[in-house]
Amino acid sequence: MGAIVRVRGTRLWVEDLGDSNRPVVLYLHGGPGSGCYDFVLYQGQRLATSVRLIAMDQRGVLRSDLLGNQTLSLRDLVEDAEALRKHLGISRWSVIGHSFGGYVGLLYSSTYPDAIDRLIFENPTFDLAASARSLLQHTALEYGVLGNQEKARECLAIASDDALDSRFVWDKFTVLSQGLGKQRDNLYVYGPDKQFFQRLVRESSFGDELWKRGADHQAALYEEGAIFDSLISRFSQITHPTLFIRGYYDAVFGLDQIHRCLETHPHSKLMVADASSHFVHVEQPELFAAAVVNWMA
């Protein structure tokens, strides 16, 4: 069902599943740079029985055109989504944003509110520093299990210092979490299949060259730097009905962000998936699909 669609001077890989007469929902993947492959694999057919699902690999990611020497900004991701909506002749659609895709989804909905019907955020981040601090707390626990108390204390010290720069905190989390080795997967997956994403990559037919595009996408956004700005205050501008789906064991969408989002956005509801971490759409796929369909209805 996938096809290449040309928008704004680049070509995007777009999946279009489900009857065109059904309510339309756009999926925005996280990463940054992970692509929509895993979501369509686990949710495509489940959701297509009730909604029309549009999912794309964002600019420079996976099956979309190589980023190359082009610059990339958050604004590009928003404008690409809006250009795709117009290209497909869709008057309004809802948005599912996973992880960093939630950041893009909130930016999109606050920029083009009339294009959006409803919002669904799965374990989103709207404040990368807040996510990093929450992840550092979980990283400290993993270091504790490994018996490395020095690294555990370092994680907690950074997590508790609110004066630190957002980029610095995120960079420190990246370095410290990599020191966990395979234990790092515990930060994102609750169930026994900790390396499901790595397995999907191996079993796909895309090849390493396509998968590596996500790293360039991520690096370009980090270089721009806007990704390190908190968006939580933007919820005061949002009137769209909003569903937050959180895995009970997720570290990205920490309790502080949940509290601030629900407090700022009165048109919202929180659903907790009791046996999931960061990838509810994979770990509890039926529960996730039912929540999306019910919210869209």
Same domain, 163 and 73: no
Kindly state whether residues 179 and 241 are assigned to the same domain: no
- 125: which 2 tokens? 């981040």
CATH number at residue 241: 3.40.50.1820
Q: Are 121 and 156 members of one domain?
A: no
27, 172: one domain: no
Give the integer Cα–Cα distance in Å for 109 and 101. Answer: 12
Contact assessment for residue 99 and residue 131, using Cβ atoms and an 8 Å cutoff: no
Global pTM?
0.97
pLDDT given at position 98: 98
- Which pLDDT tens digit goes with each residue over 119-161? 999 999 999 999 999 999 999 999 999 999 999 999 999 999 9
Domain closes at, from 187, 203, 230: 187
Choosing from 159, 187, 215, the residue where a domain stops is 187
State whether 42 and 112 are in the same domain.
yes
Q: 196-203 and 37-48 are packed helices; what angle lies between their axes, rounded to 10 degrees?
A: 90
240 with 169, same domain: the answer is no
pLDDT of residue 70: 87
22 and 158 inside one domain: no
Parent domain of 161? 130-187
Q: 90 and 138 in one domain?
A: no
Question: Domain check: are 83 and 199 in the same one?
Answer: yes
Q: How confident is the prediction along the chain (297 residues), in pLDDT tens digits per residue?
A: 699 999 999 999 999 999 999 999 999 999 999 999 999 999 999 999 999 999 999 999 999 999 988 899 999 999 999 999 999 999 999 999 999 999 999 999 999 999 999 999 999 999 999 999 999 999 999 999 999 999 999 999 999 999 999 999 999 999 999 999 999 999 999 999 999 999 999 999 999 999 999 999 999 999 999 999 999 999 988 999 999 999 999 999 999 999 999 999 988 999 999 999 999 999 999 999 999 999 998
pLDDT (0 to 100) of residue 161: 97
116 and 208 housed in the same domain: yes
Count up the domains in the chain and report the number: 2
Residues 145 and 280 in one domain: no
